[in-house]
A and B are shown apart, each in its own frame.
Chain A
Amino acid sequence: MAHEPAPSLYAAQEPVFPRKVKGFYRTFKWWIMAVTLGIYYLTPWIRWDRGPNLPDQAVLVDMANRRFYFFWIEIWSHEFYFVAGLLIMAGLGLFLFTSALGRVWCGYTCPQTVWTDLFILVERWIEGDRNARVRLWKGKWTARKWRLRITKWTIWLVIAMATGGAWVFYFADAPTLLRDLVTLSAHPAANITILILTLTTFIFGGFMREQVCIYMCPWPRIQAAMMDPDTITVAYREWRGEPRGKKRDGTAGDCIDCMACVNVCPVGIDIRDGQQMECITCALCIDACDDVMARIGKPRGLIDYLALSDEEAERAGAQPRPLWQHVLRLRTIIYTAMWAAIGLGLVYALFIRSDIELTVSPVRNPTFVLQSDGSIRNIYDVRLRNKLGDDRQFHLSLISDDILRIELEGLGRELAIDVPANETILQRVYVTARPQDPAASRNSTPLRLWVEDLGSGDKASWDTIFNGRESQ
Chain B
Amino acid sequence: MADRKVDEETGVDTTGHSWDGIQELNNPLPRWWLWTFYLTIIWGIGYTIAYPAWPMVSGATAGVLGWSARGTVANDIAEHDGQNANLVTALLQADMTTLPENADLNRYAVARGGAVFRAQCSQCHGSGAAGATGYPNLLDDDWLWGGEMEQIIYSVTHGIRNEVDPDAHWSQMPAFGDIFTKEETAATVEYLVSLSSSEFDATLAEEGATLFLDNCAACHGDNAMGDRAVGAPNLADAIWLYGGDREALTYSVENARFGVMPAWGQRLSEEDVRAVSAYVHALGGGE
Name A residues whose Cβ lies closer than 8 Å to a Cβ of B.
3-13, 208, 211, 215, 363, 365-366, 369-374, 377, 379, 409-410, 418, 426, 428, 430, 435
Contact check, A369 vs B140: say whether CB atoms are below 8 A apart: yes
Q: Which parts of B14-30 form the interface with A (CB within 8 Å)?
A: 15-16, 26, 28-30
Are A365 and B28 interface neighbours, CB within 8 A? no
Asked whether any CB of chain A lies closer than 8 Å to the CB of B31, the reply is: yes
Question: Which one of A8, A365, A372, A409 lies within 8 Å of B128 (CB-CB)?
Answer: A365
A4-B4, A410-B282 as given contacts; A11 in contact with B128, CB under 8 Å:
no
- Tell me whether B4 and A7 are in contact (CB under 8 A): yes
10 smallest beta-carbon distances between A and B, as pairs:
A365-B128, A372-B237, A11-B28, A374-B238, A366-B130, A4-B4, A10-B31, A372-B142, A410-B100, A369-B139
Complex contact B30–A215 (CB within 8 A): yes
Interface size on B, residues (CB 8 A): 36
CA separation between A377 and B196, bound complex, in Å? Answer: 19
Chain A residues, Cβ within 8 Å of B234? 372
Query: Which residues of the other chain, B, contact A12 by a CB distance below 8 angstroms?
Result: 30-31
Minimum CB distance partner of A215 in chain B = B30
Once bound together, how far apart are the Cα atoms of A372 and B228, in whole Å? 15
Asked if B16 and A6 sit within 8 Å, CB to CB, the answer is: yes
A-B contact count (CB 8 A): 96
Query: Assuming the A-B contacts A363-B128, A372-B238, are A9 and B26 also in contact, with contact meaning beta carbons closer than 8 angstroms in the complex?
Result: yes
> Which residues of A are found within 8 Å of B15, using beta-carbon distances?
6, 9
Instruction: Determine the distance from Cα of A377 to Cα of B137 in the docked complex, in whole angstroms.
Output: 13
- Please determine whether B284 and A373 come into contact, CB atoms closer than 8 angstroms: no
CB-defined contacts of B2 to chain A, threshold 8 Å: 5-6
- Quick one: which of B4, B100, B282 contacts A6, CB cutoff 8 A? B4
B123 sits at the interface (CB 8 A): no
- Given A372-B234, A373-B237: A6 and B141 interface contact (C-beta under 8 Å): no
Known: A372-B234, A410-B282. A379 touches B28 (CB 8 A): no
Q: A366-B128, A426-B107 are in contact. List 10 more A-B contacts (CB 8 A).
A: A4-B3, A9-B29, A10-B29, A10-B33, A215-B30, A215-B33, A370-B238, A379-B139, A410-B106, A410-B282
Q: Are A373 and B238 CB-contacts (below 8 A) given A11-B28, A11-B29?
A: yes
Considering the chains assembled together, what is the distance between the CA atoms of A7 and B141 in angstroms?
86
What CA separation (Å) do A208 and B30 show in the bound complex? 11
Is the Cβ of B284 less than 8 Å from the Cβ of A13? no
Residue among A10, A369, A379, A410 having the largest count of chain B Cβ atoms under 10 Å? A369
User: A7 touches which one: B28, B126, B196 (CB < 8 A)?
Assistant: B28
B5 touches A369 (CB 8 A): no
Say yes or no: B140 contacts A371, CB within 8 Å: yes
Q: Which residues of chain A come closer than 8 Å to B126, judged between CB atoms?
A: 365-366
Q: How far is the CB of B131 from chain A (nearest CB, A)?
A: 9
The 5 listed contacts between A and B (C-beta, < 8 Å) are: A4-B4, A10-B29, A10-B30, A208-B32, A435-B238
Q: How far is the CB of A268 from chain B (nearest CB, A)?
A: 13
Known: A372-B142, A430-B284. A3 touches B137 (CB 8 A): no
Cβ A379 vs Cβ B284 within 8 A: yes
Q: Which residues of A contact B119 (CB under 8 A)?
A: none
Q: Which of A4, A410, A428 has the most CB of B within 10 A?
A: A410
Mark out the residues of chain B between 96 and 111 whose CB falls within 8 Å of any chain A CB in the assembled complex: 100, 103, 106-107
Question: Interface digits, B113-131 against A, CB 8 Å rule (1 contact, 0 not)?
Answer: 0000000000000111010
Chain B residues near A377: list those with CB within 8 A: 139-140, 284
A428 touches B284 (CB 8 A): yes
Interface assignment of B13: CB less than 8 Å from any CB of chain A? yes
Q: Contacts of A366 on B, CB cut-off 8 Å?
A: 126, 128, 130, 139
**Across-interface contacts of B29 in A (CB, < 8 A):** 9-11
Q: A365-B127, A372-B234, A374-B238 are in contact. Are A7 and B100 (CB under 8 A)?
A: no
List A contacts of B103 (CB < 8 A): 418
Known contacts A371-B141, A409-B284: A10-B4 contact under CB 8 Å: no
User: Which residues from A are CB-within-8-Å of B1?
Assistant: 5-6
In whole angstroms, what is the CA distance A11 to B130 when docked? 71
Within 8 Å of chain A (Cβ to Cβ): is B239?
A: yes
Contact B3 A3 (CB under 8 A): yes
Within 8 A of A (CB), among B217-259: 234, 237-239
